[in-house]
Structure 1
Amino acid sequence: MGAGRGAPGERCDHSAQGRPVLASPEVQRGARVPALEERRRSGRGDELRRDGGRGLDARGRDLGRFRDDDLATSRLWLGSTYNSFEYVAADLDEVAVYPTALSAARVQAHYQNGAQTQPQPDPAEPPPTPYSSAVVSDGPKAYWRLGDTGTTAADQTAASPGSYVGGVTLGRPGAIANDANTAAGFDGLSGTVQVPSAAALNPTGALSLETWIRPTAFPSSSNTILRKEGQYSLRLRYNGAVLFRLWKGGVAQDVTTPAGTIALGAWSHVVGTWDGATMTLYVNGAAKVSAPLSGPIDSATTGLYLGSTYNSFDWFTGDLDEVAVYDKALAAARVLAHYQLVVPPPPPLSSYASVVVGDGPTSYWRLGDAGASAADQMGAAAGTYAGGVTLGRPGAIASDTNSAAGFDGLSGTVSVPSSSALSPTSAISLEGWIRPTSLPTSSNSVVRKDGQYSLSLNYDGSLTFRLWKDGTANALSSPLKAVTPGIWTYVAATWDGSTMTIYVNGAAKASTGLAAPIGTAGTGLYFGSTYNSFGWFAGDLDELAIYPKALSAARVAAHYSAGAPTDTTPPAVSLSTPATGSTMDAAPAFGGTGGTAGGDSSQVTVSIDAGSSASGTPLQTLAASVDPSGIFSARTQSALAGGPYTAVASQSDSAGNPRS
């Protein structure tokens, strides 16, 4: 080996026979490559062994290049020939030269001992999903899926792994349905992920921050979702808003979504982007706020933290999943594409749904879902099905393929986390279609946010609309038999700040005064039960919506008309008094029962003809009102002369179906 000198930085070890006489410093980047260990002289030429086997020609290009030019005093080179050509593009590690020929057994032993220390694929790591593949394809500089089982938060790019610290619970259900990858839960006291600063995490010309969050509590002020102090952050506010911050010239530049953007207990997709000119904050695929900001932004050497501000305060309470940092601004189309890989876009709206959406509801649950989540057509407040709920039931809108949800009257409900958007105090409308299989023994809940508002069905087929003010429930009830078991009925309840009104099948049935404001409550919203405890609804619910305003009578009628089935059934009217063939006095009273189904007129007409049949112009025509129980009565306007008479009762409905 000549003088036995190595390249600068190498360690020379003139050791005993059988031990290496030259060892290089460790060089490692990413995955390791098993080392070259032996140059062996034989009559056939020089050979090297790798991976415990033979067959690597030392005169060809390889991981190491050993040259002695017979007995030269030239320097030994690793990775090149004389530092001039034949450069190797690979990582080198654990290079050794021996004064003896290692036996085949020793070579194999060296390999096996080293292979045991090589990083092995995590057998528990789930395969890529369409969502994770889409994120990776968009080129993040770091991507933490947070589905880990140890103390390391793996980065899918392998560039910036982090460490779990404090109160973090791994293995939490993740944001992506049918994905084995899990999420990380943060306790709001000490849980965080800390990632060392790196150049890849310090973009200054453009960036995107992306994550899924499911908070279980709002902070008293703000808490941290993701933060690299002095450079960028995402924060959750006390009122359900999200804040996106960039630092420029040492000054924080913020954009903040409206209050109530984030709901407790539900997954939300949050993305902050900056393209060098404009900051934009997206929630659930939709841009919520933007503001101009010219670049560059500041760079910082601080670490990156998930769930806290540098492991000291602003602790996040809830679950985080699928966190990514990019050195570019994701386009709006890519943000939406990522979101829709988790929450597919809803089917095209029917004419009824288009009418509802056109009137601007805060939330609109069509209840035609196939999984555990009750999708909000407006993307604001998804709910969760629980207990005895049957999905895929025939819906209320005959021309629409969207289905309904069936509730068993025992445990079936939908729960929606509370939010400020679901807590209007100056006006509100509730609407939906209901088809009870039976009437309750007392009352059950159609929609209820306890302490704020509710719509319930009663034992006598009436409806009750409640609004809470100053802790007191103000109730308005419709007439009896407003709802018939087994038949779809459109119901709406409105309050415009001064008047509460109940509508059934497009027609106002009751109203009363109530001055604004009403109270607000932090309770969740429930369909089909009273906070998942009692008041269980038995039957089908469909097309439920909540508005931050009072729908006008004309809009309520339009909604009913858009969804109502074609009515071919005439009202059920009959005349029972006086009985056929009976003798009465000169001013008899006429009475019977009229129809009370949706669309049936509230008036019955009784015509009186002389003779044994109705013909020509009636002698008298009487008008009678049908009371809520279906009873009507009317007395003749003047005395009748002696002789036979024929009386006929008639009633029509809104579809023009007369019945006599």
Structure 2
Amino acid sequence: MKLPTIKLTKKHLKFILPILAIPLIVFGYLFFTKSQTASASWWNESWLYRKVLIIDHTKVSSDLKDFPVLISLTDMDLGAHAQADGGDIIFIDEDGGKLVHEIEFFASSTGALVAWVKIPTLSSSADRTIYMYYGNASTVDQDKPGEVWAGDYSGIWHMAENPAGGTNPDGTDEVSDSTRNGNGANSGGSMDASDLVAGKIGSAIDFDGSSDYLRIGDNAGFKPASGITMSAWINPDIASNWGKILCRDYSANGGWENPYVTYCLSSSYGTDGRPYLEITTGASNAKHLASSAIATGTWHYVVGTWDGTNMKIYVNGVAVNGTTTKTGVLDYSATSTSDLVVAVRSPYTQGERYDGKIDELRFSTVAKSAYWIQTEYNNQSDPVAFFTSVGSEETGPGPVGYWAFDEGYGATAHDDSGQGNDGSIVGANWQSESMCVSGKCLYFNDNQYVDVGSDIKLFDNDLSMSAWFRTSSSSWVTIMGKGSIFTGGKRAQINLNDQECGVGKLKVEIDDDTVKKYFCSRKSGLNDNNWHYTALVRDGDNLRMYIDGYEDKNSPLDISGYGSIDNSRPLTFGSIYHEDEGGQRYFFKGFLDEIKVYPYARSASQIKA
């Protein structure tokens, strides 16, 4: 049969093409929308948790490079899961690159965090996504302050240290410098621990206006030729008479002869409360003043810049009172060395002191742009609003404990999860690969077990536990357990050949000393001296048992109303603690291999895989 020939005219195509385009448009929309919103792959399974942080592009004044972003938040998830000092907290770019950061402050009791993260590029037209990872108990400290502030910064003083207690062994450098330059500040006057106070960002230092000051040693980084930015958050108690924020004395003797300073950022012109910048070139001094006074008793972000020609003052991110022209190069001719000082004009004079609080003091050898300064203010004045959102806690695919038993020697079962839950092997014997599931394994007989400590908490939340076992025993034996049995017993355990279930069946049991719940596997014959895989999963109020990759017919068990186990006891493999008899009991007889604990409920497909 010959099919008829269809001739398409332009008129037909005008009708057909839009119809064909519709599914293509829908496909493209769904594909690209899904691509944009899809969650990034997990950076490293040794970190158990993460949160997504999205920077609001409307708070970024222009496209910027290598910008240190302040992250200041209080998050109980961090407090619960990060290391006590926050050393495991890291930040990852949306493309998977690791971002350098500095942790200024972290309190595990509250989850309060103050951190600075260097972002390679910030866009003023598109939001920027970064990931905060935490929950790695064994990693070394991850922050790298020197890399965050590398480049044109000669000094970064967060003012977060006790000005009466030295950070060096000799008691010097009471206030540390976060750059690589080591320009720590020594305190002078009558400063004591009470001068460390709450600041705009974390802590600040309170200067009394009569004797308190900080002195920073001379350094080549403080001798720029024709570019400078000095900045600080200040909260003045009064409009101090010529009150200085950060200065370099011109003649290094505190004398009152003009031009007084090589450069200086001050809080008040006389007592009128107007911040101003001073620059000296060719023995000639120039000043650029803000157009109006700043209020006392509140925080202000004050910045002075000079690019070799134009002097500017910024207050709270905005340039005020135009510019003052000053050309030439900075004049250091009167002395080759002169220390920087904070809250006074010179370490050699008692005049022009600042009375109030100072936080986040910075010195740069370039004139920062108005866009940079405005973005700094947006970020630091309201770090929460700088982000459109901070996501909920995500749990990674990695285990919180993984004991492969592949060492083959010694008395330690190393935790390969990276969480540091190494176990002590009590008597169990190493076996060669031919006897094991993967690599080497352990053989247990009477009075033998592995103790991995009490850090892993079971049944407080969802979890998954799994193990490979092989035995021919018909005695009541424990594969793994935590807590204690009998008097005051609060426990969770996986048993085989339990008297309540019978020989060859697995039993899962939890007991909060008030409610005891358990179930026996439908599958039997598990003591046939072959390798079997068991997994226990808590998913909300359901407790599920898997055997050899499949959920048992008697699963799940409803555990609603159940309280908690005794998590102060260690997690043990091959036995469980017996309260009445004061030791480990119900010892496993056979082989154990590849034991894992995950801090979330794994799916049936994950178990089978």
Q: TM-score, normalised by structure 2?
A: 0.34
Larger Rg: 1
For CA contacts below 8 A with separation 6 or more, give which structure has more relative contact order.
2
